[in-house]
């Protein structure tokens, strides 16, 4: 079975370089265009569409949902990491102490929890639960599109590849990118990582 993870498109806070997390920030105009490009890139109807509860993911899913008449499955486990007191801040707006905390989190997200936020062990547990549940739910030849967030996709890749969790923050996942995992005989395989080819416009320029 195949899981096609898609990070939502660009948001207003992405443009402003703000920490986003659980904050329910809408897509930018560019993010809305990326949603249509994503939908156009699919030639076959996926069997399932899983979506994070956050608005930016649900809005990003709409063009794909409408194209193939899919009924989205809203999945709480796909919410972005809760960054607590860091949310809404740019790096420049962080105090030196917070910058130090954030640098430590990027080095190893298991070693520090954002104040008022979510421990990375909790993130890993819910993402692992999602992988396990979909592995049981989907038949061997079935596929699902999973529209979620960068932190969730990084964690899924790290878990599926059985890498130490400290490496999750070093996996690059761009806005509106596709990352594909396949499961065969109980083993996960990374087929594509951070693929953005579908975001090229007809004139060859990026969005």
Q: Of all residues in the chain, what percent carry a pLDDT higher than 90?
A: 96
pLDDT of 206 > 80? The answer is no
Q: Is residue 206 part of a domain?
A: no
Contacts of 38 (CB under 8 A, 6+ apart): 6, 9, 60, 63, 64, 176, 178, 198, 199
What is the distance between the alpha carbons of residues 158 and 81, in angstroms, rounded to a whole number? Answer: 15
Give the tokens for residue 179: 């990352």
Specify the pLDDT at position 200.
84
196 and 174 Cβ atoms separated by less than 8 Å: yes
Is residue 180 within 8 A of residue 191, CB to CB? The reply is: yes
Listed in order, strand segments (DSSP E) in the chain are 2-7, 48-51, 73-74, 143-148, 178-184, 187-195
Asked whether residue 204 is assigned to any structural domain, the reply reads no
Is the model's pLDDT at 202 over the cut of 80?
no
- CATH number of the domain to which 131 belongs: 3.40.50.1240
d(CA 197, CA 191): 15
DSSP letter for 25, please.
P
Residues with catalytic function = 8, 80
Rounded to whole angstroms, the Cα distance separating 30 from 127 reads 28
Whether residue 207 is contained in a domain is answered as no
Residue 51 clears pLDDT 50, i.e. is over it: yes
How many domains does the chain divide into? 1
What residues pair up with 147 in beta bridges, in sequence order? Answer: 6, 51
Q: Which structural domain, as residue segments, surrounds residue 64? A: 2-199
Whole-number Cα distances in Å, 100 to 83, 109, 183, 193: 15, 13, 38, 29
Distance CA 86, CA 47 (A): 37
The answer to the question of residue 205 being in a domain is no
Residues 6+ apart with CB under 8 A from 200: 206
- Chain segment 137-159, per-residue pLDDT in tens: 999 999 999 999 999 999 999 99
13 pLDDT band (50/70/90 cuts)? very high
């Amino acid at each position: 079975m195949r899981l096609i993870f898609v990070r939502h498109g660009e948001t207003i806070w992405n443009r402003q370089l703000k920490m986003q997390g659980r904050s329910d920030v809408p897509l930018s105009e560019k993010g809305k265009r990326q949603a249509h490009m994503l939908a156009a890139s699919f030639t076959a109807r996926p069997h399932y569409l899983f979506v994070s509860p956050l608005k930016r993911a649900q809005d990003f899913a709409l063009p794909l949902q409408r194209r193939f008449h899919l009924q989205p499955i809203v999945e709480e486990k796909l919410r972005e990491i809760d960054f607590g007191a860091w949310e809404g801040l740019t790096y420049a707006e962080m105090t030196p102490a917070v910058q130090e905390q954030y640098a430590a989190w990027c080095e190893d997200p298991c070693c520090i929890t954002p104040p008022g936020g979510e421990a990375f062990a909790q993130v890993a547990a819910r993402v692992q639960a999602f992988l396990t549940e979909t592995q049981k739910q989907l038949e061997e030849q079935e596929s699902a599109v999973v529209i979620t967030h960068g932190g969730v996709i990084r964690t899924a890749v790290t878990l599926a590849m059985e890498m130490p969790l400290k490496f999750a923050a070093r996996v690059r996942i761009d806005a509106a990118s596709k990352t594909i995992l396949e499961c065969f005989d109980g083993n996960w395989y990374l087929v594509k990582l951070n693929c953005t080819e579908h975001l090229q416009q007809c004139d060859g320029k990026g969005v």
